[in-house]
Structure 1
Amino acid sequence: MNPSAPAPDSYFERIDEHRYKPTPHVGGAWDPDEQHFSPLGGLVVHAIDRYLAGRPDTGMVLGRISFDILGRLATDECEIRVETVRPGRTIELVEATVLIAGRPVVRARAWLLTSLDTGAVAGGGADRLTPPEELESWHMADVWPGGYIGTLDVRPVAPPRPGRTTAWIGTGVDLVAGEQAGPLASFVTLVDTANGIAVRQSPAEWMFPNVDLTIHLHRQPRGRWTGLDTTVVFGPTGQGITSTVLHDTTGPVGHAQQILTVRPQPTADRPDGRP
């Protein structure tokens, strides 16, 4: 990418049916020369949506998607391949693989479940969050660098605390230039932000990137806002967990989990990041 060229108002530009070029808006929080995973996760859902749109409608909806991040997400063009692993009339498993320079960097598996009317027994979720229109924006770029963070409108429900924050995340940037992303892809585009809104320790001193993201949904999200009710826990042996109740503006829609690798930031005395 040419850093002097103006960035399009999208996270990605399509090259062909399976390949996409990232824009500067995907720049990562840990390393601006790498992609932040959040937009790439949304792009995977967009690719799955397009794959499913190319066949007869089965009436199923995505109930769970899990992403495993296998390696460095370079800001190079990526290819996404989607296939059906377990076909079925009421339950189906779909897998997507993201490749950069021919190497798999993300594998995602999505369970599709049949959709039917269960409104008579629906219930049990968390309370609705304060609407984003009633909240002030928080300049998250004061904590994190990167092109992706710079695209966000973050509105905390209460002042962020170490390890505990509830906030709405929105963006005016399209997922793919010239394409209308579905509501789920747009929602998922912002979910991986959860690991950055409730930091337990300063990212200038500690690293805690996630190596996965799993999303479970009991309802399909709608609207332009992604609500994140997030708790972060660090364990004593280098692991952590970011747990989030997911919301849209009408209420909770599901949960997300991220496993973290926790380690000190490298310094001149600790070049490998070890104590």
Structure 2
Amino acid sequence: MPDAFYLPTDDPDRYLCTPATEGPWSSGLQHGGPPCALLTRAVERTPSSLDGPAQVSRITVEFLGAVPVDEVTVRAAVARSGRSVELVEAELHAAGRVALRARVWRIRRTPVELPVEVTGAAVPPPPRPAEPSRFTEPRWQIGYLRAIDWRFVAGHFERPGPASAWARQRIPLVAGEEPSPLQRVALLADSGNGLSRLLEMERWWFINTELTVHLHRQPSDDWLHVSAATTLDGQGSGLAETVLSDAAGPLGRGAQALMVGRRSG
């Protein structure tokens, strides 16, 4: 297994992709998770204009094209500054074009005394299995999928239908760095449509055109629980919805708009 998903270069904006970024749809093309996490990292490294610490409330990534397992360039900047809320935009360039574009809302982080009746007690997710899940089909243990420690609670990659699993990346996002909790969320949130697929990948494609993650609180653990379900429509579209949790309970939701069709050949 490679040492990381990406290797830094002499250019602080440019990274070399390792085989750990490869997705299940086609050899040589990246899974959506690693580039989404790399965009999130660029946003986190962008200085904030807020009065006080910043927290991310929403991440939206538009997939404008496939990302080859080669090299990528990532840049981010504040598009709308403010004292309480700001918008950060980031782009990932690959093969001479913009492949992904992200828009991230950050709000000021400050204690707020909320009424007890609106907070409630967080319901923790089911316990994490003690052992990694087993796979019988080699295609589920290559590239990105192999770089994650999957521990299924319900369902499985190898069986169509809704699924939930604890997951944690086995390697850093960028070599030599400890990934932030937010980067870990972005890396895993794009797995919802694969976790909850309803169709066989040999005969169908169901590719997400975007990923949107809303967070009502910030993650605090390196293990995340991902519970996903997919809904499809006969006109070639679909939606994958994901509940994201850590050991303390739910922290947000992810959604992916899907483009569905039969594979040729």
Which residue is equivalent to 1:93?
87
Shift of 1:79: 0.7
Identify the residue that residue 66 of structure 1 maps to in structure 2.
Answer: 60
- From 221, 225, 232, the equivalent of 1:234 is 232
Aligned partners of 1:145, 1:157: CA distance in 2, in Å? 18
> Is it true that 1:76 corresponds to 2:70 in the alignment?
yes
Quote the Cα distance in structure 1 between the aligned partners of 2:262 and 2:141. Answer: 18
Aligned length, in residue pairs: 260
Question: Which residues in structure 2 correspond to 1:88-167 (within 5 Å)?
Answer: 88-118=82-112, 120-121=114-115, 123=119, 127-134=123-130, 137-139=133-135, 142=138, 144=140, 146-160=142-156, 162-167=160-165
Are 1:52 and 2:28 an aligned pair?
A: no
Shift of residue 139 of structure 1? 2.5
Partner residue of 1:4? none
1:40 is matched with which residue: 35, 38, 41?
A: 35
Q: How far does the alpha carbon of each residue in 1:10-47 deviate from its partner, in whole angstroms, 9 at most, with x for none?
A: 00011121111110100111012101110111111111
Corresponding position of 1:171: 169
Q: CA deviation at 1:141?
A: 5.3
Give the structure 1 partner of residue 223 of structure 2: 225
> Compared with structure 1, are the counterparts of its residues 265 and 86 closer, same or farther at alpha carbon in structure 2 (3 Å cutoff)?
same
Q: Provide the residue aligned with 1:27 in structure 2.
A: 22
The match for 1:273 is none
Q: Secondary structure, in 3 states, of the residue corresponding to 2:47? A: helix
Q: Report the 3-state secondary structure (helix = DSSP H, G, I; strand = E; otherwise coil) of the residue aligned with 2:123.
A: coil
Identity in percent: 34
Conservation of the 8 A alpha-carbon contact between 2:51 and 2:83:
no
Could you tell me how far apart the structure 2 residues matched to 1:56 and 1:128 are? Answer: 32
TM-score (norm 1): 0.87
Change (3 A) 1:138 1:196: farther
Select between 226-235 and 90-99 the one with higher mean Cα deviation.
226-235
2:132·2:149 contact (CA, 8 Å) conserved in 1? no
SS state at 1:202 partner: coil
**Structure 2 unmatched runs, 5+:** none
TM-score using structure 2 length? 0.90
Q: What value does the CA root-mean-square deviation take over the aligned residues? A: 2.2
CA contact (8 A) 2:51 2:84 kept: no
Task: Summarize the Cα distance change of 1:159–1:125 in structure 2 as closer, same or farther, 3 Å threshold.
Answer: farther
In 2, the alpha carbon distance for the partners of 1:140 and 1:225 equals 24
Contact 2:129 2:153 in 1 (8 A): no
**Consecutive aligned runs of 4 or more in structure 1 exceeding 6 Å deviation:** none
Q: For residue 210 of structure 1, report the CA deviation from its aligned partner.
A: 0.7
Q: Which runs of 5+ in 1 are unaligned?
A: 1-6, 268-275
List per-residue Cα deviations over 1:39-63 (Å, max 9, x = no partner). Answer: 111111111112237x887312110
Distance 2:136 2:243 in 1: 20
Distance 1:57 1:184, change over 3 A: farther
Q: Aligned AA for 2:58? A: R
Change (3 A) 1:119 1:20: farther
Give the distance between the partners of 1:197 and 1:150, measured in 2 at CA. 14
SS at match of 2:213: strand
Residue 221 to residue 8, structure 1, CA distance change in 2 (3 Å): same
Between structures 1 and 2, the one with greater strand share: 2
Amino acid at match of 2:15: Y
